[in-house]
Structure 1
Amino acid sequence: MNLTKIYFVLILFSGFFSFGFQSQDKKPLIDVIAEIETKFDVKFSYSVTDVDQVFVEAFKDSESLQFIIDKLNASTNLNFKLLNERYITISTIEKTISLCGVLIDNLEQLPLLGASVVINNRSKGVITDIEGRFQLSNIPINETIEIRFLGFKSLTFKASELRSLDGFCKTIIMEEESQALNKILISKFLTIGLQKRIDGSTVLNTAKFGVLPGLTDPDVLQSIQALPGVESVNESIANINVRGGTNDQNLILWDGIKMYHSGHFFGLISAYNPYLTNQVVVTKNGTPSEFSDGVSSTINMSTKNKINNTFSGGFGANLMHADVFLEIPISKKMALHVSGRRSFTDVFNSPTYDNYFERSFQDSELTTNSDNISEGNRSSDFFFYDYTAKLLFDLNENHQFRANVIGINNNLDYTETYTDDDDNVNSKTSNLQQDNIGFGGSWNATWNERFTTEASVFYSNYNVDATDNRIETNQQLTQANEVLETGFKLNTKFKINAYLHFLNGYQFSEIGILNETTVSAPSYEKTKKDVLLNHALFSEIEFNKNNTYLRVGVRGNYFQKFNKLVIEPRLNFRQKLSEQIAFKLQGEFKNQSANQIIDFQDDFLGVENRRWILANENDIPISESKQVSLGFEFNKNNWLMDVEGFYKQVDGITASNQGFYNNFQFVNATGNYTAKGAEFLINKTANKYSTWLSYTYSQNNYKFQSFSPSVFPNNVDIRHSVSLAVNYNVLKQLELSIGGMWRSGQPYTKPVEGNETVRDGNDVLVNYSDPNSSNLDDFIRLDASVNYTFRVTETVHCALRAGVFNVLGKQNVINRYYEVNPEDSNTAIQIDNKSLDLTPNLSLRFNF
């Protein structure tokens, strides 16, 4: 028998067997229809072309007619409808079905909370609950469903594959991304959208973010203050204190661009639009070696990075600003993401704006100028805006290119009108403008299954400029602070095996800082500009297998100007001791060369009193930190208990960097601070609610050898801090959040009793007692929010949110200092800065 005959016989056999198996498992629908008509004495009405070439399972004799019809509806794309006991119609009209499923991970078989289940090419979707379950109704049977979850491979299904039958839901196993050793440990941490990674960092997913007390929008930098050890002693997101550090000690990155400005309204509102900011990773210790700067923390923001083939977006407004964001597909390989936000505070003053204005400018020239200028002769216009754009291009599945731009702006005009001795009306306008613009680009390349690279560049330019026209002295003061930084980074990642990854990289940055002051009368000008170049090599190895996670790295920083090398080891270790208990140990060395100095007197109309300066290794050293923390974690039945102790020392701080209101206010000195304490968190989550209680104890002291006393409490030495909150889904679409915080009052310095002032030449100064030896009253605040979501059309969703900060209207003092009494130079007057008053807000958003 030749080859041709053999081949022909094989085809016959294969056809025979395939036909035999097919006929055994399935039968032509037209034959099944005939059998049903005979058995149940019914008649079908249909078009032969609709049922031709359709195969179905044969029915069993024990099955009822209704059960058979239901099964046919579930297993075919046809619609079987019983008109009466005798007649049944068959049509091809597209029908809708109900879907459900349960998501679990592939390693520990645990449910995945917070995964996105969306209908392809539509904005409709849901998020899995605490049991990993999801449900969708009225879904076209031929629709495609996509399931996405951070750190896991996305899955797609036909809607018919997920159909809910007799209450049964398909179990879906999601596979972790092979490169994601640092997996999500807790998928619902405090609230929906907050997750905790195995390395201890916290991930904020803004697209899924639940409502937090007081907020009407998922404010990026307000939200992270829900974490233990993260707070703002003066309620400002421009002054976030992480484990006792100052705000300038936080490294803030937006798509790899280093940002030097974080807040609108000079600190009360986050300057980063949350609706294209896909995730925010907050790291307090054990930082990956690819990051430096920020001796207190790293806040790494990333925007959406996936090209979708459908146009989508959203817009909304609250009582201070309106915003819009769009995801625009250009082709299958290219897309553009844009966002914009602008306040309308220069044309409309809402009660929310009035409270924010009073809080922001209470200690500035806008409110403290001479009584010779009446309140009616002062006016101010304030507005802010921000914008972002991102171009996404996928050359192919192995090479992705991204380009970004971000712009942030605050603008204040302050006008004073007065009448001179000749009855002439004059007016002078002062201006303060603050902006940060950044550009960035990246190329991600996958060379093979084991080796990937990422090359990125960025440019960041921060400016604050002020023109202060002083009526009383007929003097014009102009001030400027500019930061310009460019950088390049190359990361190489090699996957040794499924459990072990190796990272190496190089980073270069050049930073220049300009400070300028000019005075018109008498004529005076001072300009100072510094430039610093830094080269860095970093390497780390990451291991995650069974119950052990380990990341060990080192970074070497070379400062070319000083010929100085700074070595920074990093450690992040977690060992699971049992199914419920884990031990964790973290440590790091970090440095930063750019810091802020504070002038509470004359800088920038008294509104923005912080200037960026650069280390010179003389009177301004490079700041260096050492930190270690260890703790235990208990996780069972949706209860989480976390206890962590920490010790941190930061060397190379300057007195001008701290903003003292004491006898050291104008003294130049270098020193350090040491923060040590413990953080405790207990969190319970369920389908309808989440509640948490956190407590932080911290002891934070300065040490300046040239001062007397040399050791005294830090300005942000908050010994006790407690936060309590609950989120509750009253209805499926109605969510309520209420929470409060209490913390001990921050330190301040009193004048010497009975000898409140002292003369120094021709000047009279406040005579302060021991620095930070007194404390303000305890800070107490209660906030609440409510969120109602509803569907306007099939593709348009709406969210209505209301929030109230400081529900009790408590007048908390957040800062206290003293000035010489202008009417009696032998006494000092006390000046208190107050917290935000009872402040409501309302927002309305549409997503499509």
Structure 2
Amino acid sequence: MVKMLSCIIMKLNKALIFSVVFVFFTVQLQAQEQLALKTVISNLESTFNVKFSYSVNDVEHVQVHIPKQLKTLKNIVNYLNEVTLLNFQFLNERYITVSTLNKTITVCAVLVANNDEQPLFGASVVVKKTSKGVITNEKGLFTLTNVAVNDVVEISYLGFETARFLAKDLLKTDNTCKTIILNEQQETLNKVLVYKFLTTGLQKQTDGSTVLNTKAFGILPGLTEPDILQSIQALPGVESVNESVANINVRGGTNDQNLILWDGIKMYHSGHFFGLISAYNPYLTNKVVVTKNGTSSEFSNGVSSTINMQTKNTINNEFSGGFGANLMHADAFFEIPITKKLAFHVSGRRSFTDYLNSPTYDKYFNRSFQDSELTTNVDNISESNRSSNFFFYDYTAKLLFNLNKNQIFRAHVIGINNNLDYNEAFTDANNQTQSKTSNLKQENLGFGASWNAVWSTKLTTNFSGFYSKYNVFSNDYRVETDQELRQTNEVLETGLKLKVNYKLNNYINLLNGYEFSEIGILNATNVSAPAYDKTKKDVLLNHAAFNELEFNNNKTYVRLGVRFNYFQKFSKFLIEPRLNFRQKLIPNLAFKLLGEFKNQSATQIIDFQDDFLGVEKRRWILANEQSIPISESKQISSGFQFNKNNWLFDVEGFYKHVNGITTSNQGFYNNFQSINAIGNYTAKGAEVLINKTAANYSAWVSYTYSLNDYEFKTLTPPVFPNNVDIRHSVSVAFNYNVLKNLNIAIGGVWRTGQPFTKPVEGNETVQSGNNVFVNYDTPNSENLEDFMRVDASLNYNFNLTKSLKSSIKIGVINVLDKQNIVNTYYEVNPNDTNTTIKIENTSLGLTPNVSFRCQF
């Protein structure tokens, strides 16, 4: 036994000795492979009889291995340039300098999300203080060449914390790239679900909302800039029946039923050029969140959708900005750091249409002012005796102050203005020339401020307030009747909101809050001859408390909320439950269920008699719970979403019922346009989206089917099609990166025509006293011809200087120049009161535009 134990011990000792010897020789071998650069340089000087000039600090701690196959000095120096962060340069055959100056390298990395380790497609990667930049591909990979070793690489992605690295830390070695994990921002549990949706800069969130990131926004057909309200019309279920951003219809709703917020300020005006151009400058807008259903209980006062625009909210240490122009207007924006804790953001845009009429302006002018006093002339006023002068502008400013990392203050202002002057010269019976000047102004001015406080890792609060003033003023002097007509519509709203967020853990968040608003609306009409003056002003105070629980564990997402509204004037109490549920069934397939109750107290009426020069027929009015009730909506939608290999299949059915609408705010061209009645509408249908994205292209097709009917119980017939009852709507688009800096987009829209009403055949007019009216037939029993439009855009990026990025974009709306009829109605024929005249409003014809932009 002893002998056996001795043998085992001897064998173990031999094995141990062998292991020690093996490790020793391995370490020695590795030490021989990796040599100090200073030693390598000394050996090269001896071997090749050359002299290296360098700083000891630059080469210290640098270890290199010279492959045996490298025999010549030139090959060895080239290899050292590749594998080190130093610049080896021959001054002549014998002298070589070594330094970090002018050293450029290739950097790369793969970006993944921290929550699910999915690659981040479409992230923005820029080299600070240069014009270099790139977007990550579908694998989350980016590569940048010729980057200085000490340059700062900034990586940003909507919904994630911005990361910054020295270029030398991202050095590409042996075709290997570093993996970078970006952390999601912690303000909310609502995570990004689809990183590239339709085009770069559009994203789908877990709660079903869509986010437009204007900084990284790609290109959409027909557009030369990321026009916010034009861009969201690419989403299924969102369209404009008369191609106006002032009339966006979401799931069959009217434009005034959309809640539009700009940095928390309620906006009552949406479009320049009376609806054809978004009134919000996109270049300081950080993101736009569009929600069609399942809205957070934080928001109400809009029974259709919520469009929440948020400007940039971080302080950068460097001055940056941009400027540009197209055939309609010029704009500029600047981010001005004052200190590390204080910054100022400002933007401005103004049209030059009052100085220069471009082909684009002529197309927009004819579209906006058709069938108005500007284009409809009386017999004794010739074309040469009238003129118009139109311009618009907008501006924004934001003050950012960080008291510390946990206390931040923000203050902001936005101003929007449209101005139209119209002049006519008139020759009376005595051969005397008289003239008149009419004016139409639209303004929306807003102020807001907020204080955000982080009290702990779990508790945050936000206190905000705003003031919004909207005004439409018209002064119409009619020379032929010597009558002056003045009209005013003014809205004043003040709001306060307190939000308290408490994060129980990584999966559950609680939101509680209180909101107060006071809305005052004034409508005034003054006529000089015969003398008539009418002014009406209403004020309404609303108190609301909201609560919400949000849960997300990457497989299950639930947001349950309730909002309690109290209208002080009417002693009315409304309870609004909210639901947003998403369940991942298998790794790539999810089920979603959304529902909400919402209300709205301010709506628009369309007044065909007092119509602001025939241009702007809409007036804001306030609910009185008698002839104008508070509108209330109920909506539920459900569907499935499949997302794999950058393919997205999304199908969703919806049912929406809105109660409390009136005949006066629907814009009827039928026998009901002068009758006061209260009713409702019901929209139901389905939306289908198929989207394929890749590094170089994106393509999608969407289809919406919808049935939308009115019900007015006091009218005959009580049920008839909605004015925006668009049964079928199809949108197709394709974006392609032809070259690294050249992108094209082409797309089209087809939809069935909207309903309209014909006069009774053979009995087209009816007389009441001394007045003759159109005798309309069954309401909305006819449909316009199908609407079809093809648009295209081209975008070319280039660098004017090292730090000035530039782009040229060309967009063409209605490439085929198709004459679409967007509205039809009838008027009594002044020459024969027994007949009518058919009026047809047409869409934009072929409309080109070109923009040039610079950013630094």
Same fold (TM over 0.5): yes
Q: Does the 8 A contact of 1:42 with 1:88 survive in 2?
A: no
Counterparts of 2:142 and 2:605, CA distance in 1: 52
Residue 204 of structure 1, aligned match among 187, 208, 212: 212
Residue 797 of structure 1, aligned match among 805, 809, 826: 805
Aligned to 2:61: 55
Aligned to 1:536: 544
Deviations along 1:333-370, one digit per CA (max 9) or x if unpaired, are 11111111100101111111011000000021112242
Query: Do structure 1's residue 296 and structure 2's residue 296 form an aligned pair?
Result: no
Query: Do structure 1's residue 397 and structure 2's residue 405 form an aligned pair?
Result: yes
Aligned to 2:277: 269
Counterparts of 2:452 and 2:78, CA distance in 1: 49
Query: Do structure 1's residue 651 and structure 2's residue 659 form an aligned pair?
Result: yes
Query: Do structure 1's residue 46 and structure 2's residue 53 form an aligned pair?
Result: yes
CA pair 630-68 structure 1, distance change in 2 beyond 3 A: farther
Counterparts of 1:364 and 1:770, CA distance in 2: 27
Query: Do structure 1's residue 845 and structure 2's residue 841 form an aligned pair?
Result: no
Counterparts of 2:751 and 2:783, CA distance in 1: 12
For the residue of structure 2 that corresponds to 1:751, the secondary structure is coil
Residue 226 of structure 1, aligned match among 234, 253, 266: 234
Counterparts of 2:65 and 2:728, CA distance in 1: 70
Aligned to 1:464: 472
Deviations along 1:238-267, one digit per CA (max 9) or x if unpaired, are 000000000000000000000000100000
Task: Output the amino acid matched with 1:654.
Answer: T
Summarize the alignment of residues 670-749 of structure 1 with structure 2, pairs less than 5 Å apart.
670-749=678-757
Counterparts of 1:214 and 1:713, CA distance in 2: 31
Aligned to 1:81: 89
Aligned to 2:7: none
Q: Does the 8 A contact of 1:594 with 1:614 survive in 2?
A: yes
For the residue of structure 2 that corresponds to 1:601, the secondary structure is coil
Counterparts of 2:402 and 2:32, CA distance in 1: 47
Counterparts of 1:576 and 1:522, CA distance in 2: 69
Deviations along 1:210-245, one digit per CA (max 9) or x if unpaired, are 111111111010000000000000010000000000
For the residue of structure 1 that corresponds to 2:230, the secondary structure is helix
Summarize the alignment of residues 763-782 of structure 1 with structure 2, pairs less than 5 Å apart.
763-782=771-790
Offset at residue 72 of structure 1 (A): 4.4
Q: Does the 8 A contact of 2:292 with 2:304 survive in 1?
A: yes
For the residue of structure 1 that corresponds to 2:809, the secondary structure is strand
Q: How many residues end up aligned between the 2 structures?
A: 826
Q: Does the 8 A contact of 2:389 with 2:422 survive in 1?
A: yes
Aligned to 2:363: 355
Task: Output the amino acid matched with 2:61.
Answer: F
Summarize the alignment of residues 128-143 of structure 1 with structure 2, pairs less than 5 Å apart.
128-143=136-151
For the residue of structure 1 that corresponds to 2:375, the secondary structure is helix
Q: Does the 8 A contact of 1:121 with 1:309 survive in 2?
A: no
Residue 503 of structure 1, aligned match among 494, 504, 511: 511
Query: Do structure 1's residue 831 and structure 2's residue 839 form an aligned pair?
Result: yes
Counterparts of 2:764 and 2:752, CA distance in 1: 26
Task: Output the amino acid matched with 1:714.
Answer: N
Counterparts of 1:630 and 1:455, CA distance in 2: 34
Task: Output the amino acid matched with 1:581.
Answer: L
Query: Do structure 1's residue 813 and structure 2's residue 821 form an aligned pair?
Result: yes
CA pair 489-48 structure 1, distance change in 2 beyond 3 A: closer
Aligned to 1:787: 795
Residue 451 of structure 1, aligned match among 452, 459, 463: 459
Q: Does the 8 A contact of 1:598 with 1:658 survive in 2?
A: yes
Offset at residue 466 of structure 1 (A): 0.3
Offset at residue 84 of structure 1 (A): 8.4
Task: Output the amino acid matched with 1:340.
Answer: G
Where structure 1 has 5 or more consecutive residues not aligned to the other structure, the ranges are 1-19
Structure 1 window deviating more from structure 2 (419-428 vs 628-637): it is 419-428
Q: Does the 8 A contact of 1:786 with 1:803 survive in 2?
A: yes
Residue 263 of structure 2, aligned match among 255, 262, 267: 255
Offset at residue 602 of structure 1 (A): 2.7
Offset at residue 32 of structure 1 (A): 3.5
Counterparts of 1:371 and 1:747, CA distance in 2: 33
Offset at residue 687 of structure 1 (A): 1.2
Counterparts of 1:589 and 1:652, CA distance in 2: 14
Offset at residue 123 of structure 1 (A): 5.2
For the residue of structure 2 that corresponds to 1:360, the secondary structure is helix
Query: Do structure 1's residue 148 and structure 2's residue 156 form an aligned pair?
Result: yes
Aligned to 2:344: 336
Counterparts of 1:101 and 1:268, CA distance in 2: 42
Summarize the alignment of residues 580-591 of structure 1 with structure 2, pairs less than 5 Å apart.
580-591=588-599
Q: Does the 8 A contact of 2:257 with 2:305 survive in 1?
A: yes
Identity of aligned residues (%): 68
Offset at residue 75 of structure 1 (A): 6.1
Counterparts of 1:120 and 1:184, CA distance in 2: 26
Counterparts of 1:371 and 1:504, CA distance in 2: 64
Offset at residue 173 of structure 1 (A): 1.8
Aligned to 2:423: 415
For the residue of structure 2 that corresponds to 1:366, the secondary structure is coil
Aligned to 1:758: 766
Counterparts of 2:393 and 2:562, CA distance in 1: 39
Counterparts of 1:180 and 1:75, CA distance in 2: 43
Counterparts of 2:839 and 2:54, CA distance in 1: 87
Aligned to 2:173: 165
Counterparts of 1:608 and 1:58, CA distance in 2: 75
Deviations along 1:470-521, one digit per CA (max 9) or x if unpaired, are 1221100000000000000111101100111111111000000000000000
Counterparts of 1:610 and 1:37, CA distance in 2: 85
Query: Do structure 1's residue 110 and structure 2's residue 107 form an aligned pair?
Result: no
Q: Does the 8 A contact of 2:370 with 2:841 survive in 1?
A: yes
Counterparts of 2:306 and 2:361, CA distance in 1: 31
Aligned to 1:281: 289
Query: Do structure 1's residue 611 and structure 2's residue 583 form an aligned pair?
Result: no
Where structure 2 has 5 or more consecutive residues not aligned to the other structure, the ranges are 1-27
- TM-score, normalised relative to structure 1: 0.95
